[in-house]
Structure 1
Amino acid sequence: MTSVVAGHAMEERPATAAAANDRLKPWEKISYGLGDFACGLSWNAVGAFLLYFYTNVALLPAAAVGTLFLLSRLFDAGVDLGVGLMVDRTRTRWGRTRPYFLFTAIPFSILLVLTFTTIDASTGAKLAYAYVTFSLLGILYSFLAVPFSALMPMMTNDHGSRMQLGSARAIGTSISVILATAATMPLVGLLGGGNERTGFALVAALFAVLTLAALLNLFFSCRERHHDEAPRSEAIGPQLRAMVRNRAWMVTFLFCTLNFLRFGCVISVTAFFAIEVMKAPWMIGILLPAVSGTLLLSAFIAPMIFKRTGIRRGCIAALALAIILHLILPWVEAQHILFLSLFLIAAILVSLTMTAIFTMAADAVDYHEWIFGVRNEGLLSSGISLSTKIGMAIGAAIIAYVLGIAGYDPKAVTNGARAAIRWSYYGWPIAIMTLQVAIIAFWPMDGLHERIRKEIAARAG
């Protein structure tokens, strides 16, 4: 027997059967984590090294690159929302999200290689080529990231299982960060034989193959268990208004945007900081992976911490401690071991909050159904995907503009440029994390999960 309440179709069955249906197989959890690896490997390589590639290999002006990052990602705003609405209306024999992984995997992998390839042409032509390839890559990323985020709340309604999926996703992200940031430059040197132009193209090709394999595995291995059965027919305007009135979603969106704004700033400036300020290029291979590679550790400890503290108190405490450590870092630059030790501790603390975002995004879907009677996984997930791209784009653009204003020239770096790089490495993260503390204080879901699930189930009954 099927009952439809507020447009949400649910099959009536005993709670024990529903719980059994929510059980995730170990390989399913791993495959979901590998899905984030697929998305993260390419995007972390882009975030960490595309600014360097454009300015130092393609020899494009830093300020022009900043504008490229900003305009391309602002264009993605409409794309992400459009993809989210498409997911909510998609009904196929493969499900609602899985077809996007199947049909986007190959073109996305090809665009990744083209983005890290430069052409022999004038500066204007090279800049146009960069606009086209980077913009297309961002559009295809939307067709992966939005369905991928929408998949988690469809896989299980159980909060504990979602925390496990969030941890699996954090592990996938961590591995992608470590590979993309720690291995890229050594592989560029190894595969390129000293030619960075060739090296970047070959590394992008290697990453594209890994991305393709992981995305196809995601398609074949993960199941959708919970979603609306009837296609969406509501007007878009009311759906958007409901989305921004969803307090859990709004907090997640702002918190995630700030997180990736910080992330975009840090990974874009790290290579310049290690080379020009610390005078220790070898630190790139430690600092960059630590930015979010520490998610690998936080993925295991975050569920235990947030189970005791809740997401709101746990994130506030972690960010406050990370801010204190970042204030200490400038005073210990000369002591590399101490500097790295404090930085790693701060990175672990920040990674705890990044792990929380994955669960927050799924919980916001339940909150939406509780308040408005519909789930809208695709639309809500598109907003979260949009926040990651907007945050990283603005972060990278900020660093590019700072370099441009400071007169950065890779062939003759001035003391003024070094000072700008140093300030950017510390100042932006501290300011952004302070704003995150203020935002997460409004998180509404702690302690509400069981009540929400019971009231939704009672409505359906």
Structure 2
Amino acid sequence: MSRARLSLAERASYGFGDFGYSLAYNMAGAFLLYYYTTVVGLPAAAVGTIFLVARLLDAVIDPLVGVAVDKTRSRWGRTRPYFLFTAVPYVAIFIATFSVPHWSEGAQLVYAFLTFKALGIIMSLGSIPYTALMPMMTDDPADRLRLGGWRSIGTSVGVILGTAATMPLVGALGGGNEAHGFFAVTLLFGALSLVALAMLFRNCRERIADEAAASAFRVLPAMGQMLRNRAWAVCFGFCLLYFIRFGAMLGLTIFYAKDVVQKPWLIPVMLPMVSGGLLISAFIAPPILARTGIRKGCVGAIALSLALLAAMAGLDHAADVQIGTLAVPPLLLPYFAFSIVTSVTITGIFSMAAATADYHQALFGVRHEGLLSSGISTSTKVGMALGSALGAFVLAWAGYQPDAVSEAARSDIRSAYFLVAGGLLALQAAVVWLWPMDGTWRERLAPVMT
């Protein structure tokens, strides 16, 4: 195995590549439901359908992008051309997504679907090569965990800006007009994304090549091999469930804080705690997972997360703690701990995604990083879409009316907020327990290698 030594500039640039791609995605995940239903005034059930249908189409689009990456050969390598040529279109579509015109409701729904779908397509053209880049940069497991930690840092900064900073910036830049505020914020975030993606293109290089010739790539047999790759299947399922939960909680937290707890000031407190948890876990997850292995480390993190979620639910009705002039709900402490612990698993996902190429090569003699990464990208986007749609459908099921929220609606949102998260976490634990690559996996796999 090669031991390519990665510089700090490479590690940092790789990490902030995630920031470049995820900033727009995090803002959309956290506020597009709010923007569509409250700012534009579209019906929640229709918005949920847009989220669901648009992302399910990624199950077709993402593998095509993955195949293109595996076939690409250029003077910039296999992945870096995509960073170069998709950055500006990605930012332009992001701005258009939060710029719904004053048309009829039907025309607005069509516009929302087309721009949201276009945002997903352009993101696929960048994020799939980005994920494929990690196993091309190094094959050292410790280095990959470090890259995963840097990627978690990039993710957390993207979440901080995309969630915590969005509404204050909307207010500051919009002058009381939320539509104008969202437009201004997309211009600012788009510029930051362009800088991050330029760093990714300039500083990160591919050092490990797939020896299989691009011309020998056959799509259907390659996809069949991918589906028989147990490591890939576990990573896909684990990632899908993570982002369904993350998307649902991210979208519903706004309504949970504003309408259930009835403290709107909690929105810019609870959403940053998610990003703060990601940032802290970026430093603690690599040494933990290096010691425990992916399977045991992730299952332990999920078990602790479930305990913290139960504590949050138990403290939901507890009397506020008075801190100075501010009445603070006691559930905030376990909520922050929950954000840290669950975020340990995202570093595990990044490392798992890179390792699937090693498992694939051991089984089939080829790496196919692009195709394997496309599947993980699909699980991320479909998971977020299912989670966002689930949040929208919860609001519709609860009969949510922004101007007159009933007690029954508050109760339904509260129940869904905790029960959905708990059920999905339990499923994640069951899936990751099947991870095949801890310990002496090569020796165990030897009898079935082709």
TM-score by length of 1: 0.92
Contact 2:277 2:337 in 1 (8 A): no
Q: Give the corresponding residue for 1:251.
A: 234
Give the distance between the partners of 2:441 and 2:285, measured in 1 at CA. Answer: 18
Q: Give the corresponding residue for 1:4.
A: none
Q: Give the corresponding residue for 2:369.
A: 377
The letter of the residue matching 1:397 is A
Q: Does 1:281 align with 2:293?
A: no
Select the residue among 95, 107, 120 that pairs with 1:113: 95
The DSSP-based 3-state class of the residue aligned with 2:436 is coil
Q: CA deviation at 1:413?
A: 1.4
Across the aligned residues of Structure 1 and Structure 2, the Cα RMSD in angstroms comes to 1.6
Q: CA deviation at 1:448?
A: 3.3
Q: Does 1:199 align with 2:181?
A: yes
Q: How does 1:240-319 map to 2 (within 5 A)?
A: 240-319=223-302
Select the residue among 173, 196, 205 that pairs with 1:223: 205
Q: CA deviation at 1:321?
A: 1.1
What 5-or-longer segments of structure 1 have no aligned partner?
A: 1-14
The letter of the residue matching 1:86 is A
Q: CA deviation at 1:412?
A: 1.5
Residue-by-residue CA offset, 1:149-177 (whole Å, 9 max, x unaligned): 00000001111111110000000001110
Q: Percent identity?
A: 52
Q: Does 1:365 align with 2:344?
A: no
Contact 2:91 2:194 in 1 (8 A): yes
Q: CA deviation at 1:210?
A: 0.6
What 5-or-longer segments of structure 2 have no aligned partner?
A: 321-327
The DSSP-based 3-state class of the residue aligned with 2:330 is helix
Q: Give the corresponding residue for 2:219.
A: 236
Q: Give the corresponding residue for 1:83.
A: 65
Residue-by-residue CA offset, 1:261-307 (whole Å, 9 max, x unaligned): 00010001010110001111111112112234412111111111112
Give the distance between the partners of 2:152 and 2:364, measured in 1 at CA. Answer: 30
Q: Does 1:422 align with 2:414?
A: yes
Instruction: Name the stretch that deviates more: 39-48 or 326-335.
Output: 326-335
Instruction: Name the stretch that deviates more: 323-332 or 92-101.
Output: 323-332
Contact 2:157 2:275 in 1 (8 A): no
Residue-by-residue CA offset, 1:295-338 (whole Å, 9 max, x unaligned): 21111111111122111111111101111111121221243353
The DSSP-based 3-state class of the residue aligned with 1:347 is helix
Q: Give the corresponding residue for 2:312.
A: 329
Contact 2:142 2:290 in 1 (8 A): no
Q: Does 1:96 align with 2:78?
A: yes
Select the residue among 389, 398, 401 that pairs with 2:393: 401
Q: Give the corresponding residue for 1:162.
A: 144
Q: Give the corresponding residue for 1:5.
A: none
The letter of the residue matching 1:59 is G
Cα 1:57/1:377, change in 2 over 3 Å:
same
Q: CA deviation at 1:392?
A: 0.5
The DSSP-based 3-state class of the residue aligned with 2:293 is helix
Q: Give the corresponding residue for 2:118.
A: 136
Q: How does 1:162-181 map to 2 (within 5 A)?
A: 162-181=144-163
Q: CA deviation at 1:41?
A: 0.6
Give the distance between the partners of 1:451 and 1:361, measured in 2 at CA. Answer: 21
Select the residue among 446, 452, 458 that pairs with 2:438: 446
The letter of the residue matching 2:122 is L
Instruction: Name the stretch that deviates more: 403-412 or 369-378.
Output: 403-412
